[in-house]
């Protein structure tokens, strides 16, 4: 199959998410996500588990040196081994970017890494530093993998699986499946999981976050293109059937029942077929679009402008984050998972918010500051009790990205870089877990990036462990044929071992 055709089919499958809802459940020996016997030592106590996850995907690959992982002693011009690297690769443009954002280079000491180095939050993260309620509940985790292209790294970051694996599913699919199987709210109409992407979804973009892998179709998150959401709200009104809606639904329902009957022997009961069940799910969901529309309101994705570092423009991340807050705090049917794609206030030179093959300082400073400004605005500050804002006690916030950026500049090598940018660097980068099970006792740095800019041997986590830890943080057992295996835990030989290692790295606790 040609790559272009394959990608169009994948996009088409993702596009059917609007027709997937939680009204059809398939029989199973045990509920997905249920903790099996003998796993008590890897279970977080009920009161410490998160109820929801907000994942912000920093699309393009965030440079850690100026943002979340600044080691002041690494890469100085006087460094005898790695001079003018990491933060010090762009001293003049960093200074210009800081001036545009109104920040100064001041010590913002966050913690100590596994090599004993003092890690600061960089100046481009100064807005985050101003919210110590978040900083005091944050774990910075050094990650590493070996995939340099976006097309391979993005799916791995979002699913924990390499490209091509049939079990590759986004975190939202695992969460939605677990919530459906638990059947705690059988009358619920809207999805538990949402992915807020952009109209320009490409082969290397956020669509992987909506993948359902080996789960049934009912587990697929609802993917909404935030810059084209009017099309979704139009479709939810079902204009093609109009006043004939009830008659149309009755006819299609009769066809579905007839088709299922043809696939089973008389008197043998309903056919056991994943694809047939998915057809029934799609049909039933179509009849209940009013329920989705009641949660996904018409004005939820109204375009808005944002301003960061002296730049004002249409702000897609702002729209996505405001919608995420609405979905996660909905009074009757709150979401359990929302992923927002941060494509920047203005795209970086290579695309997305952080693919900074040139102008690394300017684009990273502007887009990271913009994201933090809008993220902090939807999280309750100390003493604030706005029911429409996120509460850190019940919501785990994940700042994820597909890789970092090289510690040295990307020179003019035919790639289009003018020497002011950084190339892809999956060999040592940083993600953040904030709130939820992470309290002040778990704050800190997990792993280490050394003076050479790569993750220190034995001191890093993998994308799979990121996903495993997030599920455990929600009280969902991640080991199943549709999810993860023992081998997904670095050096693990048992499920308990893989679970406790992932929790230790990302949550700062083992139970």
pLDDT at residue 3, rounded to an integer: 40
Alpha-carbon gap, residue 425 to 389, rounded angstroms: 35
User: Which of the four pLDDT bands, split at 50, 70 and 90, describes residue 185?
Assistant: confident
CA 342 to the chain's CA centroid: 10
Element at 320 (helix H, strand E): helix 316-328
Alpha-carbon gap, residue 507 to 438, rounded angstroms: 6
Each residue of 97-145: pLDDT tens digit? 999 999 999 999 999 999 999 999 999 999 999 999 999 999 999 999 9
Alpha-carbon gap, residue 72 to 186, rounded angstroms: 53
* pLDDT value at 177 more than 50: yes
Domain ranges in the chain are 32-236+296-507, 237-278
Q: What percent of the chain shows pLDDT beyond 70?
A: 91
Task: Answer yes or no: are the C-beta atoms of 75 and 419 closer than 8 Å.
Answer: no
Each residue of 370-429: pLDDT tens digit? 999 999 999 999 999 999 999 999 999 999 999 999 999 998 555 556 789 999 999 999
* pLDDT value at 190 more than 60: yes
Each residue of 305-345: pLDDT tens digit? 999 999 999 999 999 999 999 999 999 999 999 999 999 99
Pairing state between β 337-342 and 193-197: parallel
Which are the contacts of 500, defined by CB distance < 8 A and separation ≥ 6?
41, 42, 510, 511
Q: Kindly provide the b/e burial profile for residues 150-183, where b requires at least 16 CB atoms within 10 angstroms of the residue's own CB.
A: bbbbbbbbbbbbbbeeebbbbbbbbbbbbbbbee
Q: How far apart are the first and last CA of the chain?
A: 46
Which residues are bridge partners to 359 per DSSP? none
Each residue of 249-305: pLDDT tens digit? 999 999 988 888 888 777 766 666 777 877 887 888 888 888 888 898 888 999 999
pLDDT at residue 230, rounded to an integer: 79
Each residue of 429-479: pLDDT tens digit? 999 999 999 999 999 999 999 999 999 999 999 999 999 999 999 999 999
Alpha-carbon gap, residue 206 to 505, rounded angstroms: 25
Average pLDDT over residues 40-65: 96
- Phi and psi at residue 472, to the nearest 5°: -65, -35
Query: Considering only CA atoms, which of 461, 327, 472, 343 is closest in space to residue 396?
Result: 472
Q: List, edge to edge, every strand of the sheet that includes 193-197.
A: 222-225, 193-197, 337-342, 52-58, 395-400, 429-435, 138-143, 444-446
Q: In terms of C-beta density within 10 A (0-12 exposed, 13-18 middle, 19 or more buried), how is residue 275 classed?
A: exposed
Provide the greatest CA pair distance for the chain.
82
Task: Answer yes or no: are the C-beta atoms of 241 and 231 closer than 8 Å.
Answer: no
- Phi and psi at residue 127, to the nearest 5°: -65, -35
User: Which of the four pLDDT bands, split at 50, 70 and 90, describes residue 9?
Assistant: very low
């Amino acid at each position: 199959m040609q790559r272009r055709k394959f990608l169009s089919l994948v996009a088409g499958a993702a596009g059917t998410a609007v027709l997937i809802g939680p009204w059809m459940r398939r029989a199973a020996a045990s509920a997905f996500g249920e903790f099996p016997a003998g796993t008590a030592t890897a279970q977080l106590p009920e009161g410490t588990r998160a109820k929801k996850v907000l994942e912000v995907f920093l699309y393009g690959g965030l440079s850690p040196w100026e943002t979340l992982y600044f080691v002041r002693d690494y890469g100085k011009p006087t460094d005898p081994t790695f001079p003018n690297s990491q933060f010090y690769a762009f001293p003049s443009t960093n200074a210009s970017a800081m001036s545009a954002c109104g920040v100064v280079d001041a010590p913002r000491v966050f913690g100590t890494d596994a090599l004993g180095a003092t890690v600061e939050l960089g100046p481009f993260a100064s807005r985050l530093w101003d919210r110590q309620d978040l900083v005091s509940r944050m774990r910075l985790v050094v990650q590493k993998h070996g995939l340099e292209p976006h097309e391979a790294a993005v799916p791995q970051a979002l699913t924990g699986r390499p490209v091509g694996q049939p079990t590759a599913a986004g975190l939202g699919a695992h969460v939605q499946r677990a919530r459906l199987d638990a059947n705690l709210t059988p009358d619920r109409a809207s999805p538990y999981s949402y992915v807020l992407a952009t109209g320009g979804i490409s082969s290397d973009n956020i669509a992987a976050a909506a993948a359902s892998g080996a789960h049934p179709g009912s587990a697929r998150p609802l993917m909404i293109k935030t810059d084209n959401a009017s099309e979704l709200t139009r479709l939810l009104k079902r204009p093609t059937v109009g006043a004939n809606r009830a008659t149309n639904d009755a006819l299609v329902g009769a066809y579905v029942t007839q088709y299922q009957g043809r696939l089973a022997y008389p008197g043998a009961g309903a056919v056991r077929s994943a694809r047939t069940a998915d057809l029934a799910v799609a049909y039933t969901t179509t009849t209940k679009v009013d329920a989705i529309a009641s949660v996904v309101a018409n004005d939820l994705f109204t375009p808005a402008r944002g301003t960061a570092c002296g730049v004002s423009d249409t702000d897609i991340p702002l729209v996505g984050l405001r919608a995420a807050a609405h979905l996660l705090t909905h009074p009757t049917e709150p979401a359990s998972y929302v992923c927002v794609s941060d494509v920047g206030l203005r795209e970086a030179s290579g695309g997305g918010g952080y693919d900074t093959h040139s102008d690394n300082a300017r684009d990273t400073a502007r887009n990271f500051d913009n994201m933090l400004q809008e993220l902090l605005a939807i999280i309750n500050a100390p003493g604030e009790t706005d029911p429409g804002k996120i509460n850190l006690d019940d919501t785990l916030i994940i700042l994820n990205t597909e890789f970092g950026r090289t510690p040295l500049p990307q020179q003019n090598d035919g790639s289009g870089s003018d020497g002011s940018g950084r190339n892809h660097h999956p060999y040592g980068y940083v993600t953040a877990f904030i709130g939820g099970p992470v309290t002040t006792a778990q704050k800190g740095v997990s792993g280490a990036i050394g003076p050479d800019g790569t993750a220190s041997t034995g001191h890093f986590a993998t994308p799979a462990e990121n996903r495993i830890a997030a599920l455990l943080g929600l009280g969902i057992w991640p080991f199943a044929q549709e999810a993860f295996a023992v081998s997904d835990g670095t050096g693990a030989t048992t499920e308990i071992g893989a679970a406790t290692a992932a929790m230790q790295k990302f949550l700062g606790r083992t139970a």
